[in-house]
Amino acid sequence: MNEQRVAIVTGGSRGIGRAIATKLAAQGTAVVVGYAGGADAAAEVVDEITAAGGRAIAAQADVADEKAVAAMFDAAQETFGGVDVVVNSAGRMALSTIADLDLADLDRMHRTNIRGTFVVARESARRLRNGGAVVTVSTSVVGLQFPTYGGYAASKGAVEALTLILARELRGRDITVNTVAPGPTATDLFLDGKTDAQIDQLAKQPPLERLGTPDDIAGVVAFLTGPDGHWVNGQTVRANGGII
């Protein structure tokens, strides 16, 4: 076993990604906090982890840019000695009916959510140490199929399609590949543009009668990437409080 496991968390500067990065660090994993543009926010996450006694660095990368993603893996290798866990939490969402969706918004979502996931998965397949874990992030809307989420859900459906295929392709290396599909979760991305009434309605839908929190999702990811969750492989886990 490696002395210390090393994780790359894309989208690690805010929301669910930030909660995942700090959760993994609290469990003793060295973390590369990947970010697209929020350098200050990423630095705050690194400071939070190191202040608590953990090890972390920040690395800027557009997940759809294969050279930038390779450089992020290089930074993990050079600083911490390798990579054991990759969590691709970077994502983009634009809501609109299918009839009215601007195709430029569709292209931007698909570039980040599909191409970005594929690029990170490809680099993970090439670089992850044996015994590691890959977690991609989808959305429970793939199953819930809310109006105005057509373009977004389509991009995340592609993420789920990769999961079992990549798990099978990594046969023989003791690496797991899973997708976590959060339901409505109280992040800035989710809350932006919604009225209090809309938020309250969504919070009442799960039998647990609340919105998810970033920590709820981080706990699932920590399980899937840790020893207790290593027998779970090739799965999409709908972490949504029972909304479907």
Residues with a known catalytic role: 152
Nearest residue to 203 (alpha-carbon basis) of 225, 221, 184 = 184
C-beta of residue 173 within 8 angstroms of C-beta of residue 130:
yes
Place of tokens 């590949």: 177
Residue pair 32/8 in contact by the 8 Å Cβ criterion: yes
Residue 148, SS3 per DSSP: coil
Nearby residues of 161 by Cβ (< 8 Å), 6 or more positions away: none
Task: Provide the terminal-to-terminal Cα distance of the chain, rounded to the nearest Å.
Answer: 38
Question: Could you give the CA distance from residue 108 to residue 94 in angstroms, rounded to a whole number?
Answer: 9
Sheet with 133-137, strands from edge to edge, namely 56-60, 30-35, 6-10, 85-88, 133-137, 176-180, 236-237
